[in-house]
């Protein structure tokens, strides 16, 4: 996971740029309505929260994130847009005391894969939803279905070492398996869970230098490079640069990706 509030190259809008195709798919799946109260889980700098608030003009949106810097940036961006029906709180969605049975919709763009106890976390989110309220979240499919993950891991590990290159840090693929996610959601008080395949590419920037800077900021990349001695780290970075160059198009650096949109209803 790269932190969405990290510094990034001017002209490359960081995580929002990386996920611009995904954001559009998620927005359509959410179908936010005028009077909705929306909870955005792991909102980062709040693009999905602000979009929800713009549509829910007679309701509102609350974004929560554990990162103080992300929440601060989210507030700045909402202020700059003059949005009055959006708030942000620094909170751990697993245990935060949300208003009970208040929200019509809980949404998340890749912000729900990092819970220590997913059943407890989704049960907590479920209690914040009114009965029948909806959960709509985007999560990654397995790493091997994500060209970006395969390419990064292969570059960092070097030839023949792919299998041993365990990714470090939080697991972005923890909700990749639909039957397992269905069991978690059932146990957390949700019903009617459904999975829609999302096949859209991720964007890493207009040129290789920007893409390399962006990917170096991913937790898994940073942690792996830290474990290598300086010559091995330099070789790994060289391989990563080559891989990014191979994905440079007239329209910048793109990698194929696979995600799920998971929908469910609070029972
Ligand atoms: C991959 S980022 C996605 C950010 C945002 N949804 C977006 O699309 O720009 C994951 C976010 O989840 C947040 N996060 C992780 N665990 C969390 C938790 N238990 N409660 C709230 N936020 C959490 C992280 O701080 C991070 O900002």
pLDDT along the chain (267 residues), means of 10: 52 88 97 98 98 98 98 98 98 98 98 98 98 98 97 86 57 97 98 98 97 94 92 95 98 98 98
Q: Is the CB of 49 under 6 A from ligand 1?
A: no
Q: Looking at ligand 1, which atom is closest to the CA of residue 121?
A: 19
Ligand 1 pocket: which of 3, 42, 64 to mutate (most atoms <8 Å of CB)?
42
Q: Is the CB of 63 under 6 A from ligand 1?
A: no
Residue with CA at minimum distance from ligand 1 atom 2: 111
- Domains identified in the chain and CATH numbers: 15-266 (3.40.50.150)
Q: Which pLDDT belongs to residue 164?
A: 45
Query: b/e string for 10-41 if b means 16 or more Cβ within 10 A?
Result: eebebbbbbbebbbebbbebbebeeebbbbbb
| CA 80 to centroid of ligand 1, rounded, Å | 22
Q: Which residues contact 97 (CB under 8 A, 6 or more apart)?
A: none
Name the nearest CA neighbour of 266 among 115, 135, 92, 90. Answer: 135
Q: How far is the CA of 101 from the centre of ligand 1 (A)?
A: 22
Q: Identify each DSSP E strand in the chain by its residue range.
A: 37-41, 60-65, 86-90, 103-109, 129-140, 190-198, 202-205, 248-249, 252-255, 259-266
pLDDT at residue number 145: 98
Whether the Cβ atoms of residue 182 and residue 265 lie closer than 8 Å to each other: no
- What is the 112 CA–ligand 1 centroid distance (Å)? 7
Residues facing residue 192 across a β-bridge:
none
- Ligand 1: centre distance to CA 107 (Å): 12
Ligand 1 atom nearest 92 alpha carbon? 20
Q: What spacing in Å lies between the alpha carbon of 246 and ligand 1's midpoint?
A: 30
Centre of ligand 1 from the C-alpha of residue 160, in Å: 33
Query: Which pLDDT value is given to residue 158?
Result: 72
Total-model pTM: 0.94
Shortest-distance atom of ligand 1 to CA 19: 8
- In the block, residue with structure tokens 């397992």: 180
**Cβ of 120 less than 6 Å from ligand 1:** no
**261: Cα separation from own chain's centroid:** 12
Please tell me the distance between residue 110's alpha carbon and the centre of ligand 1 in angstroms: 7
Q: What is the pLDDT of residue 5?
A: 43
């Amino acid at each position: 996971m790269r932190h969405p509030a990290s510094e990034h190259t001017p002209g490359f809008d960081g995580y929002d740029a990386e996920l611009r195709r995904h954001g559009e798919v998620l927005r359509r799946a959410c179908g936010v309505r005028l009077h909705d109260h929306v909870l955005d889980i792991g909102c980062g700098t709040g693009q999905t929260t602000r979009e929800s608030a713009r549509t829910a003009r007679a309701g509102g949106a609350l974004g929560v994130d554990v990162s103080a810097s992300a929440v601060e940036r989210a507030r700045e961006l909402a202020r700059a847009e003059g949005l009055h029906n959006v708030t942000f709180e620094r909170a751990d969605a697993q245990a935060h005391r949300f208003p009970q049975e208040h929200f019509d919709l809980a949404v998340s763009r890749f912000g729900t894969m990092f819970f220590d106890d997913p059943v407890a976390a989704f049960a907590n989110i479920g209690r914040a939803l009114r009965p029948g309220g909806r959960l709509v979240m985007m999560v990654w499919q397995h790493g091997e279905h994500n060209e970006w993950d395969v390419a990064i891991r292969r570059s960092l590990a070097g030839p023949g070492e792919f299998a041993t290159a365990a990714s470090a840090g939080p697991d972005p693929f923890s909700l990749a398996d639909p039957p397992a996610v269905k069991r978690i959601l059932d146990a957390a008080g949700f019903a009617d869970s459904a999975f829609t395949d999302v096949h859209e590419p991720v964007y890493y920037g207009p040129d290789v230098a920007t893409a390399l800077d962006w990917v170096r900021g991913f937790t898994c990349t940073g942690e792996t490079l830290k474990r290598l001695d300086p010559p091995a780290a330099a070789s790994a970075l060289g391989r990563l640069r080559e891989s990014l160059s191979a994905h440079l198009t007239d329209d910048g650096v793109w990698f194929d990706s696979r995600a799920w949109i998971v929908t469910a209803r609070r029972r």
